[in-house]
Amino acid sequence: MNRQKGLRLVHLGSTAWFMLCAAYIMILALRQAGVNWWVVFSISGHGALIVFLMVSLYLFAIFRGISDSQKERVEHPITSTSYYMVFYVIVPFLGGLASCLGMIGVNTISRFLFGIAMGTLGTTFLVWVILDPVAGLLEMLLPESRMHRSYRLAQTKVQREERQRARQRLLAEVLVKEELERQHWREVLKPKAERLAGLLTSNNIDLKKAEREAVDIGVNAWQIGGLSCMQELRNMAMVLCRQNESNEDTIDYIRVWWDGIGNWRNPSLQKITV
């Protein structure tokens, strides 16, 4: 854990050094082109946020790769080692140090700093952009790496299919459980459904009394199984009503009678109130 944290800190410092060298070269180039200092600072100020965001995204990707150890050692026998990771993160410092040694004897400070900055950028670009991807590609071409990759992908596919089958089994169990529950409701609620059908189809009945009785039935259904149970009871009652050819145009008062019981809402009333 301490090693991983140390790599992160070193990589943060090396990246900051890399960006500092890049900024120095850009400012020096602008000054040599005759750009005034106030223009240089203005450009730097506007570009600082973009540079910061790009560096943040880059560091996130690198830190995640270092901390999670996503590289398989069998597939990447070189780039996954601790020695390579240390070399990778200190490359900007190595480039700057090599440039310092190479610029010994230069008397002009500006040329000395420019040489260090160019050496840092050149070394970092060479390792991070060219050598590292090429090394990773060559590792993947090794027979052992290819075999392990194929095995790993096959295992991943098997695990994914197993998870899919587990989800399907769980869904099937839920559906079976719901169907058994509905069958139980149909047996328990059959007398209540017949009574609701009678309230809907009877011509000589007090509507207020019928509403009170229907509300009692709805509350009981809500207590038994919630909204799903109420919907099942309502559907059973409407089916019984339609079984009688003389009651094909029965008005569905149940939607209105049960409005406000638990989560039951009358769709027509909802449209009116919206």
Contacts of 65 (CB under 8 A, 6+ apart): 71
Q: If you average pLDDT over each of 28-32, 120-124, 251-255, which comes out highest?
A: 120-124
According to the model, what pLDDT value does residue 168 have?
A: 93
Tokens encoding 239 = 């089916």
* Segments making up each domain of the chain, as ranges: 2-141, 167-273
Show the DSSP H helices in 69-205 as ranges: 82-89, 91-102, 109-125, 132-140, 143-201
Give the separation between CA 180 and CA 170, rounded to whole angstroms. Answer: 15
Contacts of 128 (CB under 8 A, 6+ apart): 88, 91
Residues belonging to the chain: 274
Per-residue model confidence as pLDDT tens digits over 208-237 = 888 888 889 989 888 888 888 888 889 888
pTM given for the model: 0.50
More confident residue, 102 or 39: 102
Give the separation between CA 50 and CA 172, rounded to whole angstroms. Answer: 51
DSSP state, residue 74: T
According to the model, what pLDDT value does residue 267 have?
A: 65
Residue that is written with structure tokens 């098997």 in the block? 158
Closest residue by Cα to residue 267 from 252, 255, 257, 258: 255
Least confident residue range of 17-21, 43-47, 167-171: 43-47
